[in-house]
């Protein structure tokens, strides 16, 4: 076992640099570039090109420029409220990202029941956005704020239903537990029958949570200019934009670990590879081999980045293909379709999935070399 101070040092370094803040911010900026480039390609454009290699530094240039701009605070606004909300808008997604398993099958912070805390913190983000619009005291920001509040709160529910039906399906209440369940059962949760529908529902609701087309009603550029962030400029806007990128990474990262097996790749089906990876050194296994630990870390990060980037591509395809819908159509879609469908699927998965597992899944046991089955 390592000394206590070394464990604490590793934890602090982890939070500040590698799977923590610095790594997540670079991944968020990279995925924003991927999103913009792919969106441009779908519109027959080129997208950012002259900033760094093929425009890869474009999000970074935007961020630095916004940081260096003048920070205007209107005299009517609640100044401390605006400042605190801008900091929360960046800090809450960063805290959320600490729970996502990136270099290991567990996140930096992981305990039994952290799914409950995650659901609470994502609701906090909706509150941050509502208060940010409210404190800016702009009568043009108010419609955007009200729309954001109704949209974010009504789309919390499908996200929570999707997350907790995965928890019910696997019988685990922590992200690490669900990732482990997929490792033990040799298949991602997505391949359990109704769970693929839940992945689609989760991605739809994520698109709404991130306020991207077709659900960009709160920030609709052509009708209510910038929505709730219309009054924010300079550093505060930079924080909110980076916070939105980080929230996107968090959402697709949680989707990856709940539905697609998290950072676990092909070793799910190759037991010898899994055993080789498990022989590496770690906090619980200090006698393992150190260089395998490095390879394992790099491999997990690569798999995680590939999976999240694929989900981001799915989200940006959705953004490019659809036009914005009206707020009443939107709420109708949420309350009349998405929530009843996900509730029905949840009941379906409670009662029918054990039966399906015991009869249907056993038939396909031979498909994978190590065999499935619960």
Partner 1 sequence: MVLKKIVNKIVTWSRVKSPWILHINTGGCNGCDIEVVDVLTPRYDVERFGIVIQGSPRHADVLVVTGPATQQMKSRLKLLYEQTPEPKFVVAVGACACSGGIFRHSYIPNLGIDTVIPVDVYIPGCPPKPEAIIFGIAQLLAKLQGLETPVIDPSNIDLKRNQLEALDKKKEVATTE
Contacting positions for partner 1 (CB under 8 A): 36, 40, 43-51, 55, 57-58, 60-65, 68-72, 221-222, 225-226, 229-234, 237
Give 307-332 as a DSSP string: HHHHHHHHHHHHHHH-PPPPHHHHHH
Q: Going by C-beta distance under 8 Å and a sequence separation of 6 or more, which residues neighbour residue 247?
A: 93, 96, 125, 209, 210
Shortest distance in whole angstroms from residue 314 CB to partner 1? 22
CA atoms within 13 A on the CB side of 80: 0
Q: Which is nearer to partner 1, 51 or 279 (CB)?
A: 51
| Contact status, residue 108 vs residue 20, Cβ threshold 8 Å | yes
Q: Which is nearer to partner 1, 72 or 295 (CB)?
A: 72
Q: Is the dihedral of CA 311, 313, 318, 323 positive or negative?
A: positive
Shortest distance in whole angstroms from residue 325 CB to partner 1? 19
Angle between helices 114-135 and 79-97 in degrees, nearest 10? 160
Shortest distance in whole angstroms from residue 274 CB to partner 1? 44
Shortest distance in whole angstroms from residue 35 CB to partner 1? 13
Shortest distance in whole angstroms from residue 67 CB to partner 1? 8
Residue 357 has phi, psi (to 5 degrees) of -60, -45
Q: Which is nearer to partner 1, 244 or 338 (CB)?
A: 244
Q: Which is nearer to partner 1, 186 or 241 (CB)?
A: 241
Q: Which is nearer to partner 1, 60 or 270 (CB)?
A: 60
Q: Which is nearer to partner 1, 159 or 248 (CB)?
A: 248
Shortest distance in whole angstroms from residue 142 CB to partner 1? 14
Shortest distance in whole angstroms from residue 46 CB to partner 1? 5
Q: Going by C-beta distance under 8 Å and a sequence separation of 6 or more, which residues neighbour residue 104?
A: 19, 263, 282, 297, 300
Q: Which is nearer to partner 1, 101 or 144 (CB)?
A: 144
């Amino acid at each position: 076992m390592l000394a206590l101070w070394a464990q604490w040092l590793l934890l602090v370094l982890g939070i500040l640099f590698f799977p923590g803040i610095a790594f997540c911010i670079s991944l968020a900026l990279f995925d924003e570039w991927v999103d913009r480039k792919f969106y441009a390609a779908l519109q027959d454009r080129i997208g950012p090109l002259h900033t760094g290699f093929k425009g890869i530094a474009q999000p970074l240039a935007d961020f630095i420029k916004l940081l260096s701009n003048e920070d205007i605070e209107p005299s009517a606004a609640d100044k401390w409220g605006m400042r605190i909300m801008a900091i929360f808008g960046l800090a809450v997604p960063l805290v959320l990202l600490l729970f996502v398993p990136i270099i290991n099958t567990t996140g930096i912070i992981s305990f039994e029941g952290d799914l409950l805390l995650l659901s609470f913190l994502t609701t906090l983000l909706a509150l941050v956005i509502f208060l940010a619009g409210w404190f800016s005291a702009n009568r043009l920001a108010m419609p955007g704020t009200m729309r954001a509040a109704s949209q974010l709160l009504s789309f919390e529910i499908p996200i929570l239903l999707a997350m907790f039906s995965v928890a019910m399906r696997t019988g685990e209440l922590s992200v690490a537990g669900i990732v482990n369940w997929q490792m033990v059962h040799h298949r991602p949760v997505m391949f359990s029958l109704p769970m693929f529908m839940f992945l689609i529902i989760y991605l739809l609701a994520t698109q709404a949570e991130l306020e991207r087309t077709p659900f960009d009603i709160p920030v609709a550029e052509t009708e209510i200019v910038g929505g709730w962030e219309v009054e924010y400029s300079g550093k505060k806007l930079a924080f909110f934009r980076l916070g939105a990128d980080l929230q996107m990474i968090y959402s697709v990262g949680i989707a990856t670990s709940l539905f697609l097996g998290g950072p676990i790749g092909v070793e799910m089906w190759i037991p010898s590879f899994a055993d080789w990876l498990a022989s590496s050194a770690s906090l619980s296994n200090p006698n393992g081999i150190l260089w395998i630990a490095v390879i394992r870390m790099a491999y997990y990060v690569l798999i995680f980045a590939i999976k999240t980037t694929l989900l981001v591509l799915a989200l940006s395809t959705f953004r490019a293909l659809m036009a914005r819908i009206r707020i009443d159509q939107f709420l109708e879609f949420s309350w009349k379709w998405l929530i009843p469908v996900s509730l029905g699927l949840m009941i379906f998965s409670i009662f029918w999935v054990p039966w399906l597992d015991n009869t249907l899944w056993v038939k396909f046991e031979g498909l994978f070399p190590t065999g499935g089955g619960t």
